[in-house]
């Protein structure tokens, strides 16, 4: 069953939107939804080089030229394919979450995940960033 996430009009090109899902095993994961001029995609919210490094730390993922930038290492992931060809995460791909656009809305279509709420996981023990970089 598809679950409404947001209106496409709420997500401008080059923007991201953070939300939390429940995985099939009962755990919670953060997901970052991104829009470029070529695609709308969703990815689990962590760098493949260091899985405790969040791509969106609560104020939007850094995006540059259609790529998601890791705020710690600077590795850049293609926002449409999730593939990284540079930096410490080179030759890796982000973990995708199935979404579609329907009638001007973005919907979660991933059978293994259930939408919980907009924003980050509400817990005190989330990994933080050791980076001081912002974009």
Q: Which pLDDT tens digit goes with each residue over 88-122?
A: 999 999 999 999 999 999 999 999 999 999 999 98
Q: Is residue 129 part of a domain?
A: no
Contact 8, 41 (CB under 8 A): no
pLDDT in tens, the chain (135 residues): 789 999 999 999 999 999 999 999 999 999 999 999 999 999 999 999 987 899 999 999 999 999 999 998 899 999 999 999 999 999 999 999 999 999 999 999 999 999 999 999 986 544 444 444 444
For 18, how many CA atoms within 13 A lie in the half-sphere containing its CB?
17
Whether 58 is covered by a domain: the verdict is yes
- Evaluate whether residue 123 is within a structural domain: no
29 occurs within a structural domain: yes
Instruction: For residue 126, tell me if it sits in a domain.
Output: no
Residue 89 lies in a domain: yes
Find how far residue 76's CA is from the centre of its chain: 13
Question: The whole model's pTM is what?
Answer: 0.88
CATH of the domain at 53: 2.102.10.10
Domain count, the chain: 1
Look up the domain containing 110 and give its range. 3-118
């Amino acid at each position: 069953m598809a679950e409404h996430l947001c209106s496409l009009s709420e997500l401008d090109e080059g923007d991201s939107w953070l939300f939390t899902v429940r995985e099939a095993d009962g755990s919670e994961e953060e997901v970052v939804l991104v829009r470029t001029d070529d695609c709308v995609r969703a990815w689990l919210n962590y760098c493949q080089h260091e899985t405790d490094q969040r791509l969106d730390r609560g104020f939007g993922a850094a995006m540059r030229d259609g790529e998601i930038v890791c705020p710690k290492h600077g590795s850049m992931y293609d926002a449409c394919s999730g593939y990284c060809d540079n930096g410490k995460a080179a030759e890796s791909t982000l973990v995708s979450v199935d979404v579609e656009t329907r009638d001007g809305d973005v919907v979660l279509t991933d059978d293994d995940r259930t939408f919980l709420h907009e924003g980050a996981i509400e817990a005190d023990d989330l990994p933080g960033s050791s980076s001081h970089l912002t974009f």
